Amino acid sequence: MNRSDPSTEPSTDLSRDPSVTVAPLRTPLGRQMWAMLRLRCPVCREGPLFRSLLSMHRNCPRCGVPFEREHGYYLNSMFIAYVLGFLVIVPSAVLLAMRNVSVALFAAIIIAETIIVWPLIFRYARSLWVHVDQLLDPRARPDK
Ligand SMILES: [Zn+2]
């Protein structure tokens, strides 16, 4: 029988490996930001926020917390999306204007860029909003 000694096996837990720097992820804010970037539930940080590209789960599939706290809850994420869109589109528009491209090419590039980045902006604006809201007004896991 092949019995392995746990002290000689390489550890798969990166948080215990001193050569791996994960210190920012150990803080509550770091864990919340990591969950936000991975589009995870703001409460349990495990369940996915989205079931498809543009469709969110009503409740967390892992802990069951409802993502939409009240009617119109995602209105603030629209403001976040507006700012994110501005930060993405304006540098491209300025660069294209500096290169003196034609109006048709300018419009085509900006429209294409908007269509490509819009789903990302939508998802991250909602994720950022639900995580900021969780930090400002924390909720406990309903399953605990
Ligand atoms: Zn959850």
pLDDT on residue 144: 64
Average pLDDT rounded to a whole number, residues 15-19? 52
- What is the rounded CA–CA span in Å between residue 117 and residue 141? 32
Q: Which two tokens stand for residue 139?
A: 């909720």
Residue 4 backbone dihedrals phi, psi, to 5 degrees: -100, 145
Q: How far is the CA of 9 from the centre of ligand 1 (A)?
A: 33
Chain centroid offset of residue 89 CA: 19
Other CB atoms within a 10 A radius of the CB of residue 43 amount to 25
Classify 53 as helix, strand or coil: coil
Query: Does pLDDT of 45 surpass 80?
Result: yes
Q: How far is the CA of 143 from the centre of ligand 1 (A)?
A: 9
Return the higher-pLDDT residue of 67 and 14: 67
Average pLDDT rounded to a whole number, residues 92-120? 96
Q: How far is the CA of 84 from the centre of ligand 1 (A)?
A: 25
Q: Which two tokens stand for residue 52?
A: 């498809």
Q: Which two tokens stand for residue 81?
A: 């999306």
Instruction: Label residue 24 by pLDDT band (50, 70, 90).
Output: low
- What is the rounded CA–CA span in Å between residue 84 and residue 125? 8
Name the pTM for this structure: 0.76
Q: How far is the CA of 126 from the centre of ligand 1 (A)?
A: 15
Length of the chain counted residue by residue: 144
Q: How far is the CA of 41 from the centre of ligand 1 (A)?
A: 4
Average pLDDT rounded to a whole number, residues 10-37? 68
Instruction: Label residue 28 by pLDDT band (50, 70, 90).
Output: confident
Q: How far is the CA of 64 from the centre of ligand 1 (A)?
A: 6
Query: Does pLDDT of 19 surpass 70?
Result: no
